[in-house]
A and B are shown apart, each in its own frame.
Chain A
Amino acid sequence: MRSYYAANWASFTFNGLLSWIQQYQEEPQPKEVQDWSSLLDEGEELVYLSNPDSASISNLQVFCFTSEEDEEEAQSSDLPNPTEEKAVNEDTDVKPSADSNEEATTEKQETVGGAEEEQLQVTPTEGEEQDTDKPHLSTAQSQLEPTRKRITYAHLVKEGRRFNIDLVSKLMYSRGSLVDLLIKSNVSRYAEFKNVTRILTYRNGNVEQVPCSRADVFASRQLSVVEKRKLMRFLTSCMEETEEHQAYSGRPYLEFLCDQKLGDNLQHFLLHSIAMVTEDTPIEEGLAATRHFLRSLGRYGNTPFLFPLYGLGEIPQCFCRMCAVFGGIYCLRHSVDCLVVDKDTNRCKAVIDNRGQRISCSHFVVEDSYVGKKAAAPRRLLSRAVLITDGSVLPSDSDQQVSMVTIPPVAARYPVVKMVELCPSTMTCIPGTYLVHLTCQSAGSAYEDLAPVVTRCFHTPDSPDQENRPSVLWCVYFNMVDGSGVELEGHGLPSNVYVCSGLDSTLGHEYAIRQAELIFQKILPEEDFCPPAPNPEDIIYDGENPSTPAGEEDEDGAGEEGKREQSQTQE
């Protein structure tokens, strides 16, 4: 039973994220299967849904590298205390005094936070890793004699409400389907966006800016004038299919790039940062990705990407809000236990929630994890890390940069990592901090995949020599299911039950939007998908016609935009 909307598309305050972590840290409670057969009518049967939460998030690990309390306090009381992790269970007395001002719920989360102080491991089986992490503690403590005033954990918690931390890390292509949909449907009026201000890449041990727009290329100091010309010419020429492209059909994009004699610099930028593909990606895909990037460039700014203020969690909220205007209803802390299926028609007639309320419905949209066959092929995973840091990976004149950083594999078996660094003006973190999201396809656990990148790009107890890089104050690693591999058909479900996947691993929103549209069309083949919403002044509110609430209700925790649109039109 979730107390937040939008499942894995949700966005949390820092305190909210701590309770989310706590929830996963706790032993999953075996679900009591209640017998609701008394609610059945003649000719109906129950189909039980499974509990999704335990499956979608795994390998959760939390590290805190900043001092817990204010500097002075820390120094006076418990500075050289390498065994502080013992405080894990003695929660209350390590709490900073500031907490007492917070309300009860925050206080509880605070306790959790205190307990996580150094690390919080949710995978109890890997004791070995726990051991390897212990030495970090003393290192972390030794970092507490800083030359600059560092933001303390207490401060993070105190200001926790000002964080908006997404579980998913994506960006919006300025000419991608999400932006088109937001514009077409007028849902855009509910949100504000910021441009990603620069594209960066990690290369030869340094973070460099990738010149991709005309203005960037002009201003770039890393490129020679000849490189500038070559890059601009390549970017212009690749927009159209040429015979040369066709000649490389089926061969890797990299091979094509090599033959263009662009030089290492440009080749790196084009492959890793603009196309954002791997060395073995075929040319067709590489060119398509390059074009997608370039088409989005310059619509709103110097990079192809937008990011919603207050985080990506705003996007489902916006669609929900639109839906609510037309009568959509959302329920927190309710879960659907089972479906009521008419045996004759094999249609879902109603659902029964965890409190035994029978709610009739004509369509039912559900995320695959509720109906998943656990035994099926192992699911693909994404590795995620969320970092709160004290500086940008590439400091510049402005401290309000939103950066997309592409990081090629650090070593042979490692995946390509995409990193998004958000500044406080995106309203996702507090002044003086940056919120950094790392994402990749899992090769191992999130920690195994991403910690090497974190130690390279940041100053952590594991990389004590990188004094000049930003410090990680706090971070969390976790794996989540990659929904793009999920089979949406063939669950043997009633014909009016529609399965959608969770989020996918790509940077954009194309996959989710396409899925939402497909499901919508299955339900309402005659209707236009997300037509423009009317202006508020054109809506007639009449309090007449009071009838009982409509039968359909959105299921708890529905995270997929598609569901919102569905209820919008079901009325």
Chain B
Amino acid sequence: MHGRIKIKSTAQQEEEKRKEREKKLKIYVSARDTCFSKRKEGILDEEALQVTQQLLSSNPDFATLWNYRREILMHLETVKEKDEVQKIYEAELAFLESCLKLNPKSYGSWHHRCWVSARLPRPDWSRELSLCDRCLSLDDRNFHCWDYRRMVVKVSGVPVAQELGFTDRLIGSNFSNYSSWHYRSTLLPLLHPESPESPSPSHEPPQPSPSHSPQTQSHRVCEEQLLKEYELVQNAFFTDPNDQSAWFYYRWLLGRAEREEMISCVYVSRDEERVAVAFSRPVNAQSVSLLLVLDGQPQKVEWKSVHPRFKHSPVCICDLPPGTISDITNEHNLTVHWTEKYTHRDCALYTGRTESWCRDSATDQELFRSELSVEKTSVLQSELQSCNQLLELEPLNKWCLLTIVLLMRALDPLGYEKETLAHFQTLKEVDPMRSAYYSDLCSKFIIENTVLKMEYAEVRVFSITDKNLTTLCHLDQLLLVTHINLSSNQLQQLPPQFAMLQCLEVLEVDNNRIENLEGVYHLPKLEEVLLKNNKISALADLQPLASCPKLRRLDLRGNPVTQAANIESELTALLPSVTDLLL
């Protein structure tokens, strides 16, 4: 019939496709072989450029060919005029664009583009930026493009304000984008640095330069801009409270305080002739530049960490040469210099005293608020209100709950203790997959609160019982504690950090699940260890106790290890100082 058209059958189509594929393969293989042999012979001509282009346009992930291409291009640079080189590289960019269309995440293509852009005599950076914009509008998570874009921005010196506008745009079109939020967090401190003296220099954005990279600058952002950011990010988490990218950015906004680096405590003990120094952050005991001056004389001492398991520790100890301070009728003045930080701390050991220390009276502000910022209380308070408002609408949202907990911590850790614990309970229920994380975090907060209470009470006794503790932390804060009671919790071990309790005399950890005593290590004053109803199952697990010279009382009742044969005699052999053993 007229006009009637026939359609090829599936078999016909298949056959044609097969032939097509075969043909393509043949061409591909022969072109590849040509390339390889040319390269072997060291031929760097334009024909090779063409052949590699053919191959790469069908397979842009052929690294060897890109390398060959670069060799040829570098050769051409030496023999061609500058204008011609410009043209060659421009053609290269156009070719790369077609490769990126084929595979927008091709490592080879993006790498080559970086290379070409760097060699182009007269680069057109705005064109490169718009290429990135196009790529990111198609896939805002293409990290190759993000990387390339960072390079372009850096080299071409795009103003920071413009870049911030760029993140505005991306976040506006889809706020579930870590890359954009993170980029924002690097730009804001540059554009709106915290400076109490001068207002934010938004009218004159500083140019990004190597010397002012985000890393070296303050991470703080001026308050005016912070308030705007709070508003922006609130819009995001109210719109979709389950999107974590916004919450993470919010955490960044809230938590920017950094603790001052300092020596927080110096402790000296006459009996052991030992000095312990606590820092505001962990230091490497071997390499930290510390100078101990005793009665005006620099001492040559060996600083070491409290436990061989870690090099970095917030507490370092050293032993003084024997006899230097052992005479109780002498008074001594110690100074510890942290030379690289230009800071030091003095400590006087008076006549008749067996020990002495010097420390700041640690306030909660300095101790534990560093996770959230030292932002004005009013700001944090209003942020807490917003989050509470959201919680009313979304009572089971874990991000909201967690953020509220953090805000409460920052505002008044002791005052909000009850609410905080209740929120943790909810968190464990709504997010059971992470219940252990919440338990640990909750333990941390309980310990912080207890430390604060202990500070206020000015005692050397630390007690947290029956609070479901799952982990121990902030043990550097317990350097001066003599009695610790952690009974009836969920602890599984006394970690190596436990060795920072240099003054500990009595350790009570009854009714836990302790299997491991690694941290009870070289505690010079430890006399009593009460370990009733734990999970110590082998004699080897008690080995660390042997390093505590003064241990005389040990309660092991209710531990599997007591069932072992000959346990008593083996223990006596292991711990000869123990006179009071309960099995």
Given known contacts A547-B1, A547-B2, A550-B2, A225 and B8 CB-to-CB distance under 8 angstroms: no
Given known contacts A218-B172, A538-B7, A538-B8, A229 and B238 CB-to-CB distance under 8 angstroms: yes
Structural contact, B389 and A226, CB atoms closer than 8 A: yes
Residues of B1-15 contacting chain A, CB below 8 A:
1-8, 13
A230 to B394, CA, bound (A): 10
Is B234 close to A, CB under 8 A? Answer: yes
Structural contact, A545 and B1, CB atoms closer than 8 A: yes
Smallest distance from the beta carbon of B358 to chain A beta carbons, Å? Answer: 49
Smallest distance from the beta carbon of A518 to chain B beta carbons, Å? Answer: 27
Is B236 close to A, CB under 8 A? Answer: yes
Structural contact, A233 and B393, CB atoms closer than 8 A: yes
Is B217 close to A, CB under 8 A? Answer: no
A499 to B238, CA, bound (A): 52
Is A124 close to B, CB under 8 A? Answer: no
Is A125 close to B, CB under 8 A? Answer: no
Residues of A close to B390: CB separation below 8 A: 225, 229
Is A332 close to B, CB under 8 A? Answer: no
A542 to B6, CA, bound (A): 8
Structural contact, B5 and A326, CB atoms closer than 8 A: yes
Structural contact, B4 and A230, CB atoms closer than 8 A: no
Is A534 close to B, CB under 8 A? Answer: yes
Is A217 close to B, CB under 8 A? Answer: yes
Given known contacts A215-B172, A215-B174, A229 and B2 CB-to-CB distance under 8 angstroms: no
Structural contact, B235 and A225, CB atoms closer than 8 A: yes
Which among B1, B7, B174, B235 is the interface contact of A534 at CB below 8 angstroms?
B7
A571 to B5, CA, bound (A): 10
Smallest distance from the beta carbon of B534 to chain A beta carbons, Å? Answer: 48
Residues of A206-240 contacting chain B, CB below 8 A:
214-215, 217-219, 225-226, 228-230, 232-233
Residues of A close to B235: CB separation below 8 A: 218-219, 225, 228
Residues of A513-571 contacting chain B, CB below 8 A:
534, 538-542, 545-550, 571
A548 to B389, CA, bound (A): 78
Which among A215, A325, A548 is the interface contact of B173 at CB below 8 angstroms?
A215
Residues of A close to B86: CB separation below 8 A: none
> How many residues on chain B are close to A (CB under 8 Å)?
25
Given known contacts A228-B235, A228-B238, A233-B393, A545 and B2 CB-to-CB distance under 8 angstroms: yes
As a 0/1 sequence over residues 161 to 184 of chain B, the CB contacts with chain A under 8 angstroms (1 = contact) are 000000000001111000000000
Structural contact, B234 and A225, CB atoms closer than 8 A: yes
Given known contacts A218-B172, A219-B172, A225 and B5 CB-to-CB distance under 8 angstroms: no
The number of inter-chain residue pairs (CB within 8 angstroms) is 80
Residues of B close to A327: CB separation below 8 A: 1-5
Given known contacts A214-B239, A215-B175, A226-B389, A325 and B2 CB-to-CB distance under 8 angstroms: no
Structural contact, A232 and B239, CB atoms closer than 8 A: yes
Residues of B close to A549: CB separation below 8 A: 2-3
Smallest distance from the beta carbon of B49 to chain A beta carbons, Å? Answer: 32
Smallest distance from the beta carbon of B159 to chain A beta carbons, Å? Answer: 20
As a 0/1 sequence over residues 225 to 257 of chain B, the CB contacts with chain A under 8 angstroms (1 = contact) are 000000000111011110000000000000000
**B172 nearest in chain A by CB position:** A219
Which among B3, B5, B241 is the interface contact of A229 at CB below 8 angstroms?
B241
Structural contact, A546 and B393, CB atoms closer than 8 A: no
A549 to B240, CA, bound (A): 62
Structural contact, B238 and A226, CB atoms closer than 8 A: yes
**A533 nearest in chain B by CB position:** B7
Which among A214, A226, A538, A545 is the interface contact of B13 at CB below 8 angstroms?
A538
Is B386 close to A, CB under 8 A? Answer: yes
A230 to B236, CA, bound (A): 13
Structural contact, A229 and B394, CB atoms closer than 8 A: yes
Structural contact, A571 and B1, CB atoms closer than 8 A: yes
Given known contacts A215-B175, A229-B394, A232-B240, A539 and B5 CB-to-CB distance under 8 angstroms: yes
7 closest Cβ pairs, A-B complex:
A327-B3, A225-B238, A540-B6, A229-B238, A218-B239, A538-B8, A534-B7
Interface residues of chain A, those whose CB is within 8 Å of chain B, are 214-215, 217-219, 225-226, 228-230, 232-233, 325-327, 534, 538-542, 545-550, 571
Q: A225-B389, A326-B5 are in contact. List 10 more A-B contacts (CB 8 A).
A: A215-B172, A217-B239, A218-B235, A225-B386, A229-B394, A233-B394, A327-B5, A547-B2, A549-B2, A550-B3
6 contacts between A and B (CB under 8 A): A226-B389, A228-B235, A228-B238, A541-B5, A548-B2, A550-B1
